[in-house]
């Protein structure tokens, strides 16, 4: 049975207020499917009972659990591949040359999910830029979901996950088998600093960023939320830094402070001079 309009409206508002994510009308089935296990784990007979309990309390751990259950965490290693090629062939060589004196580089994966994206960056740095070993490189990976952050920090991936996008030589070099899972090496895990950051709330102190990956998260937000997040990203990005969005995302008509830069098959963004 699908949830009623009143319950659906409550869940939509909760999700938007807590995460900035929008839930389109017609997604009642999704709410029902995702929240049924949460209701069961909480000893409640139905999603309606779960929502009734949520209504009675100010936002607490149960509300967070519900929000996490509704958010999409889809990701994979080297997702869409071209941005990573561009990082390797154009952007990192350029920024490394520019930062040769300071020997400092700051990178941020701002919706890192279960870690495949920041670990892809970390492997790319390890493989192609050994000179950075003596630099101060800060690679921050953040997400709103503590569940995915914990998975990311542990660095265990299923066979299916390592089959998606990860080149076999990197699997052999940087992962070891642990039962049915593959764990990414400590050498790579050490390179990534995981943090809980909700993009629509105050951010913990972050350094000026040379590279920001904000991929496949704005797509779920309404226009006002996209504008707010992009404005904050703009304030954090170095004047010669680069912002990467997902393939279906853009700054166009949202933030005129960014200008589009195209590298072959990759689109990224810089601050308008
Ligand atoms: C679809 S995944 C994208 C992961 C990765 N960036 C990629 O492109 O493969 C979106 C991620 O954004 C996170 N997210 C959603 N709302 C967020 C918010 N308000 N603040 C921070 N992260 C958020 C989700 O938890 C999820 O892990």
The rounded distance, in Å, linking the Cα atoms of 175 and 168 is 10
Report the candidate in 194, 160, 143 with the shortest Cα–Cα distance to residue 20.
Answer: 143
pLDDT of residue 2: 75
**199 C-alpha to center of ligand 1: Å?**
9
C-alpha of residue 147 to centroid of ligand 1, in Å: 12
Spatial separation of the C-alpha atoms in residues 94 and 265, rounded to whole Å: 18
pLDDT for the residue numbered 1: 58
Measured in Å, residue 119 CA sits from the centre of ligand 1 at: 15
What distance in angstroms lies between residue 217's CA and the mean position of ligand 1's atoms? 5
The pLDDT value recorded for residue 28 is 94
Angle at 157 between CA 153 and CA 159, to 5 degrees: 175
Ligand 1, atom 19: closest residue by C-alpha: 19
pLDDT recorded at residue 204 = 86
Instruction: Report which protein residue has its CA nearest ligand 1's atom 24.
Output: 73
Ligand 1 shell residues, CB under 6 Å: 19-21, 71-75, 79, 111, 113, 117, 143-145, 148, 197-200, 215-217, 246
Residues of the chain scoring pLDDT < 70: 1
Secondary-structure breakdown of the chain: helix, strand, coil percentages, each rounded to the nearest 5: 45, 20, 35
Total-model pTM: 0.97
d(CA 103, CA 96): 8
Can you give the pLDDT at residue 238? 98
Ligand 1 atom closest to Cα of residue 109: 6
């Amino acid at each position: 049975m699908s949830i009623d309009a009143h319950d659906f409206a409550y869940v939509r508002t909760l999700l938007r207020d807590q995460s900035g994510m929008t839930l389109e009308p017609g997604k009642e089935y999704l709410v029902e499917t995702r929240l049924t296990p949460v209701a069961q784990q909480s000893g409640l007979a139905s999603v309606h009972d779960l929502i009734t309990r949520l209504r009675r309390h100010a936002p607490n751990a149960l509300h967070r659990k519900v929000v996490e259950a509704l958010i999409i965490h889809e990701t994979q290693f080297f997702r869409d591949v071209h941005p990573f090629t561009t990082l390797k062939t154009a952007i990192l060589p350029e920024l490394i040359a520019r930062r040769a004196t300071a020997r400092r580089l700051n990178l941020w994966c701002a919706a890192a999910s279960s870690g495949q994206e920041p670990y892809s960056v970390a492997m790319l740095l390890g493989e192609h830029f050994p000179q950075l070993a003596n630099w101060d490189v800060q690679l921050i990976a953040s997400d709103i979901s503590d569940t995915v952050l914990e998975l990311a920090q542990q660095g265990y991936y299923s066979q299916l996950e390592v089959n998606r996008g990860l080149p076999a030589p990197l699997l052999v070099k940087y992962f070891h088998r642990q039962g049915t899972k593959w764990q990414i090496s400590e050498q790579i895990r050490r390179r990534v600093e995981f943090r809980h950051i909700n993009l629509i709330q105050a951010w913990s102190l972050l350094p000026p960023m040379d590279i920001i990956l904000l991929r496949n998260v704005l797509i779920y937000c309404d226009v006002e939320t996209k504008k707010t997040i992009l404005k904050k990203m703009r304030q954090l990005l170095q004047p010669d830094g680069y912002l990467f969005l997902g393939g279906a995302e853009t700054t166009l008509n949202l933030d005129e402070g960014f200008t589009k830069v195209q590298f072959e098959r990759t689109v990224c963004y810089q601050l308008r001079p």
